[in-house]
Structure 1
Amino acid sequence: MYWTIALIIYVIIAMGMVISLLVNGIKPAKTLAWLLAIFTIPVAGILLYWMIGRNRRKYSWKDIQEDIAINNYLKKIQRNQDSVETLDMDSKGFAKLTRLIEKNNGFKPTKNNDVTILKDGKATFDAIFEALEAADKYIYLLYYIFEEGELADRLIALFKKKVKKGVKVKIIYDGVGSYSLSKKYISKLKSIGVEVYPFLPFKLGRFLASINYRNHRKIIIVDGKVAFTGGINISDKYLKGDLVLGKWHDMHLRLRGASVRELQVVFEIDWFLVSGDNSEFDRELPPLREKVGNQIVQIVYGGPDDYFSPIGQTYFAMINNAKKYIYITNPYIIPGTAILKSLEVAANSGIDVRLLVSANADSVLVNWSVRSYFESFLLAGVKIYLFPEGFLHSKIIVSDDNLVSIGTANMDIRSFEQNYEVNAMVYDSKTALLLKQEFLNEIEHSIPLDYKSFKNRPYIERLKEGFAKIFSPLL
């Protein structure tokens, strides 16, 4: 009898999910795959769908009041932006791209910025601590991974000193990415006056609904004048490496100028979501006229609550807009159909398309999934290089000597649809040429792949790759 009741309940739940898929499903292939999973994998199929298959645009934990408050704040930001005129961007060939980002995020390209490229951990943390030491009003931090160690100890000592001088310090850490952060450390932060909140921490009532949706952003804001973003987390491995992968290589940005406000807005929205405090939304925003540089920057951010995928669409547009070349450095290139086809079309049409991927991976399953696309890429003429030294964690795209994207987003479904991410678009030849040369230097020390040789890889490797593709939405 109990089994009969359980079966009836299971069927009712399954049918409810089927109806939801039919009503809200966007991609037919994806909808069919979930229908098969629900009916062929008892219990596990439903749990997986609940964790990663639901349309977050329909099932958001944000209520209507939150949406209204955020939208009104973004409108106020737009009215106060010191932006580049559309004519200027037309002459540079970026009008469509900048309008796309503005449509998705509300942010226009801003001028008078100073952009500094920071390579690897030492340069990045030297610049970060220099900026933090100079803070006299506020320090905002948002990190996916915040690990205890020497860096964390230096930060807490600095925060203690700054809070005593009246500097406001706010921290957001991801509830999963920073799972190792101890209660003792968090309590110490609070005891010295730091405001700190986790993003979607483990809670029994919403564990399955939220575990797959993480805040992968890395942001620091100092006094509204200096900002940092990129791929580097708060972890000693960026200085010391680790026993398995060795040295971690990554790129970060220091920004000064009008673009700092855009990054600060992203932080303030996330702060509102974790704390419920929207006091920052009510502040008057004076126009930003101070000229600190001559670089044009536009911030693009996205998350699972966006109807369109802002970062996925931006990557797609960058690939399609490339006239001569597009060089991509990323450890997690697990493209969906659109990105896959756009890279193949670009290569087939004569664009110099090159991918620089870490030869070593922090996940075996991810490594198999990344490699599962190599054969198709190589056949289309995409050049692939494996970086052999340590772990290459950078997320960079450089194109045509005038366009750069650096940030937190990988080139995979998770970054496009499931994680909260942020990238900086830099429309500047000096920055592009610097990173182009860095890319060319790196591939000199990397392993080039050949289509014929790769195609003849062992059958067991192909099997592993095919298996890993199934789980790519989770990776």
Structure 2
Amino acid sequence: MINWITGNWFLSLLIVNYIVAISAAFFLIKSNQNPRKTVSSLLFLVALPFLGLGIYYFFGLEYRKSKIFKRKDLNANELIQNWNKRLHISEDDLDKYEETFLVDRLKMVKLLRHNQTAPLTLRNNLKVLFNGRNKFDELFKDIKNATNHIHLEYFIICDDHIGLEVINLLIEAANRGVEVRIIYDSVGSDISRKTKRKMTDAGIEYQSFMPVLFSKFTRKANYRNHRKIFIIDGSIGYIGGVNISDDYVNEPINYNDTYWRDTHLRIEGHAVKSLQAQWLLNWYFVKNQKDDYEVPKAYFPEIDIAENKAVQIAASGPDTDWANIMEALFIAINTAEECVYITTPYFIPNEAILTSLKSAARSGVEIHIMVPKKGDSWAARYASRSYFEELLESGIHVHWYCRGMLHAKTMVVDQLFATIGTSNMDYRSFDINFEINALIYDDDIAIELNEQFQKDLEYCEEVLPDLWFKRDKMNKFKESFCRLWAPLL
């Protein structure tokens, strides 16, 4: 037997591979995941010996969701929900807005309240920040004025030019007595040991979110913290698409030859309390804290701001019972009456979002979708293009952004509702990664985002149906092949 194995080592390895693959397939089918994701994973297990197991391990395996995230302490969850309940508006108070600025968006408000006790907050001042430079200019001023605490949570933090500017300002804040705590994703971030020592010496606490070995080789590993949250003194918050990296600042000193178009939001007001609550949940998780929690009152200060902008914070991830952001977008699209404007770097929608878009368009709603022409992922680019034909057939306008990398994640509906956040229009954002969006029920913000959409169109090329339907067969094959990966990308 041993002689046969050594003489037929490749065949032996192949047999072992398929024994493991069959076991994995049984587990996969039994887990009742999304059917398309299950079929995709089974296809790679069968068609790609050895490589298929690797793909399944990094993209299809769900053990972390069922085991690791149970470590998110229920006491912490209950504590944060109690803080959120203090911000709640009663059902009677909600009803009075039905005839004013919320209109039928009340469905969305009530959905998120039911799903995750996410309060609607009415006392907020908002400022939309287009591109990285505008974000960092505002952020630097707020860091310098911080007096109590600074909390941040980012997918990408790099100690490059802009990253060191941020970190040095955080060190200065810590040296003057401000509490600074950082959550960074171990796959997306790149912080040197030297920089970490400088932060430690200044008294800054930092934690890596679900650390992995060889992070440079696991850029698409599952269950990453894709959020970008910055909180100053519990009253000022930032949320959106701009990470802390030179890629996002289009300036000569750190320009990487690709123009990055992005959108961020500065919030001053009660919605920051919801950002703080979500940050705390992940802080307790990465600290693996098991004791009872006493949250400092300074984390949730009294904020005296007149009623101005209505905002609701939607957070989702593999630890939530519901796909909160996806469901909110689904309702927003389904209740649209006039128009929907979407900007996203990755458009790989699930069946629910795709059907809602096509149905809305065929019912007379004008829908425009803007995506980068090249993007930063070959597979995602072609997978995205595989949806264009059915979008165009439904009357949806698709625009290629040609100036550089479009990284903004926004949607505007009927110039009444808008969302700015970290979630892309893809499977990964809806089902796998930790994401967070601000849902804004305000016509001024919606109009401002629509005006920016019109400006961005100047750098776009519209995908015309007649030409698109005639594209060559090789491109069609690439699209179809990459679409097989769609639930895994």
Normalising by the residue count of structure 1, what TM-score does the alignment of the two structures yield? 0.92
- CA gap of 1:70–1:50, structure 2 versus 1, over 3 A, is farther
Whole-angstrom CA distance in 1 between matches of 2:14 and 2:461: 54
State the match for 1:325 in structure 2. 339
Whole-angstrom CA distance in 1 between matches of 2:337 and 2:396: 15
Cα offset, 1:76, TM superposition = 1.1
State the match for 2:86 in structure 1. 80
State the match for 1:108 in structure 2. 119
Whole-angstrom CA distance in 2 between matches of 1:374 and 1:296: 34
Partner of 1:282, secondary structure, is: coil
- CA gap of 1:70–1:5, structure 2 versus 1, over 3 A, is farther
State the match for 1:37 in structure 2. 44
Cα offset, 1:362, TM superposition = 1.6
1:26-66 deviation line (CA, Å, top 9, x unaligned): 333433443343333323323322222233685231335x3
Q: Does 1:71 align with 2:77?
A: yes
Cα offset, 1:88, TM superposition = 3.7
State the match for 2:271 in structure 1. 259
1:226-281 deviation line (CA, Å, top 9, x unaligned): 00010001112322367665221111000011100101111111111111247894
Identical aligned pairs, as a percentage? 33
1:289-317 deviation line (CA, Å, top 9, x unaligned): 62245100000011123343212212211
For 2:132, give the aligned amino acid: G
- CA gap of 1:5–1:248, structure 2 versus 1, over 3 A, is closer
Which range moves more in the overlay, 448-457 or 46-55?
Answer: 46-55
Cα offset, 1:409, TM superposition = 0.6
Q: Is the 8 A contact 1:212 1:474 kept in 2?
A: no
Q: Is the 8 A contact 1:74 1:106 kept in 2?
A: no
Whole-angstrom CA distance in 1 between matches of 2:169 and 2:415: 39
For 1:47, give the aligned amino acid: G
Q: Is the 8 A contact 1:329 1:357 kept in 2?
A: yes
1:396-436 deviation line (CA, Å, top 9, x unaligned): 10011110000011000011111111100000111111111
Q: How does 1:21-420 map to 2 (within 5 A)?
A: 21-55=28-62, 59-63=66-70, 66-83=72-89, 85-91=93-99, 92-178=103-189, 180-203=190-213, 211-240=221-250, 245-277=257-289, 281-283=293-295, 288=302, 290-420=304-434
Partner of 2:320, secondary structure, is: coil
- CA gap of 1:289–1:279, structure 2 versus 1, over 3 A, is farther
1:446 to 449, 460, 466: 460
For 1:151, give the aligned amino acid: I
- CA gap of 1:272–1:182, structure 2 versus 1, over 3 A, is same
Cα offset, 1:464, TM superposition = 1.6
Q: Which runs of 5+ in 1 are unaligned?
A: none
RMSD: 2.6
Q: Which runs of 5+ in 2 are unaligned?
A: none
1:184-208 deviation line (CA, Å, top 9, x unaligned): 212221122111111122248xx99
Q: Is the 8 A contact 1:82 1:287 kept in 2?
A: no
Whole-angstrom CA distance in 1 between matches of 2:482 and 2:228: 28
Cα offset, 1:89, TM superposition = 4.6
- CA gap of 1:23–1:43, structure 2 versus 1, over 3 A, is same
Partner of 1:219, secondary structure, is: strand
- CA gap of 1:34–1:387, structure 2 versus 1, over 3 A, is closer
Partner of 2:418, secondary structure, is: strand
For 1:464, give the aligned amino acid: K
Whole-angstrom CA distance in 1 between matches of 2:255 and 2:296: 49
User: How many residues end up aligned between the 2 structures?
Assistant: 472
Whole-angstrom CA distance in 2 between matches of 1:362 and 1:33: 23
Whole-angstrom CA distance in 1 between matches of 2:255 and 2:442: 38
Q: Is the 8 A contact 1:257 1:293 kept in 2?
A: no
- CA gap of 1:14–1:265, structure 2 versus 1, over 3 A, is same
Q: Is the 8 A contact 1:52 1:474 kept in 2?
A: yes
For 2:223, give the aligned amino acid: Y
Normalising by the residue count of structure 2, what TM-score does the alignment of the two structures yield? 0.89
Q: Is the 8 A contact 2:40 2:487 kept in 1?
A: no
For 1:51, give the aligned amino acid: F
Whole-angstrom CA distance in 1 between matches of 2:415 and 2:36: 38
1:429-465 deviation line (CA, Å, top 9, x unaligned): 1111111122123224421121011111122211221
Partner of 2:69, secondary structure, is: coil
Which range moves more in the overlay, 95-104 or 7-16?
Answer: 7-16
Partner of 1:118, secondary structure, is: strand
